[in-house]
Amino acid sequence: MRMKELVQLFKNYTGKSAPKIDPLPSSGSNRRYYRLRQDEVSVVGVYGQSKEENHAFIELSRHFHKQRLNTPRVLAVSGDEMFYIQEDLGDSVLFDALKAGRLTGVFSTEEKEILHKTIALLADFQVLGAKDLDFSVCYPQAEFNHRSVHWDLNYFKYNFLKTTGMEFQEDLLENDFDKLSQHLLQDESDTFLYRDFQSRNVMLVDGRPYFIDYQGGRKGPVHYDVASFLWQAKANFP
C-alpha cells in the first residue's frame, strides 16, 4: 500500500510511473523514507504514521520555502496527508562530514567553516522562519511552554538519572525543575524553535547546509537550539 501511494504521487508529479524504490534510514522515527528514481529524476517519498506530524512538516516546509530558507521542498501530498514526496537532498549529512573532528577532538579548518555556516543559517531559520508563520500548525505544541520544559526534564530524570541507581530527593529535584522552567520562560519569544537541532538533521548540498526534521518545531527561545547543537551526543565539539 505504501509503495502504491508513493508511486502514484511520483507519477502525478513527474509523469513517470516505474521508479526504482530504495528504502532510506529512518533514524528511529515513526516515519519511513524511500528514494524514488527514474531516469534523471530522484525524489524522497515519506510515509508518516501521525497525520498531525505530517501536516506540521508539510506546512512548515511550504512556509520556509517562501522564506527562501534551506529546506527540502514538498513536491506532492496525498489527500489524507499520510504520504508525501519531497526534494531529494542527497546523502551527505553534517554528522558524517565531521567524523574526523568528532573522533579526534581536533576540527579542521573546513569542518569549522561548515559549523560556522550552519550556526549562521540557524539564526536565519529562527528569525525568518518565524516571520508570518502560523504557529497553530506546529505539533504537538504551538509554543515552548511549561509542559514542554517538563517533558525534557522528565526525560532526563527517567532515562538518565533513575537508571544510574543514584540516590536523590525527587521532591527537591521537582522544585529545581519548576525554578528552571520559570527561568526559561520568563522572556517572550517570537522566534522559531527547531526543537531537534543536531548535526544528523543537517544535510550538505554542494557544501551548503540544508535543514530537515523540523516537524517538532514551535515558537520558542533561540538559545535552546544553540545548546542542543553544542551539547548533542557524540559531537565532541571543543
- pLDDT confidence of 126, banded at 50, 70, 90? very high
Please tell me the predicted confidence (pLDDT) of residue 186: 86
Paired residues of 218 in beta bridges: 193
Tell me how far apart the alpha carbons of residues 147 and 112 are, in angstroms, rounded to a whole number: 35
pTM over 0.85: yes
pLDDT in the model for residue 235: 83
Asked if the model's pLDDT at residue 33 lies above 80, the reply is yes
For 126-142, what is the mean pLDDT?
96
| CATH code of the domain made up of 2-87 | 3.30.200.20
- Tell whether the model's pLDDT for residue 29 goes beyond 80: no
Contact 78, 10 (CB under 8 A): no
Residue 127, CB-side half-sphere exposure with 13 Å CA sphere = 6
The predicted pLDDT at position 28 comes to 63
Q: pLDDT digits over 83-105, tens only? A: 999 999 999 999 999 999 999 98
User: How far apart are alpha carbons 7 and 231 in whole angstroms?
Assistant: 40
State the residue for C-alpha cell 508529479.
13
- Whether the per-residue pLDDT at 7 is higher than 70: the answer is yes
118 pLDDT more than 70: yes
Over residues 36-62, the pLDDT tens digits come to 999 999 999 999 999 999 999 999 999
Mean per-residue pLDDT of the chain: 94
Locate the domains of the chain by residue range.
2-87, 146-184
DSSP-derived secondary structure for 12-73 = HHHS----EEEEE--TTSSEEEEEEEETTEEEEEEEES-HHHHHHHHHHHHHHHHTT-S-PP
Residue 26's pLDDT is what?
Answer: 78
**Per-residue pLDDT tens over the stretch 144-167:** 999 999 999 999 999 999 999 999
Please say if the pLDDT value at position 1 is more than 70.
Answer: no
Q: What is the pLDDT of residues 204-227, one digit of tens each?
A: 999 999 999 999 999 999 999 999
Query: Which pLDDT belongs to residue 236?
Result: 81
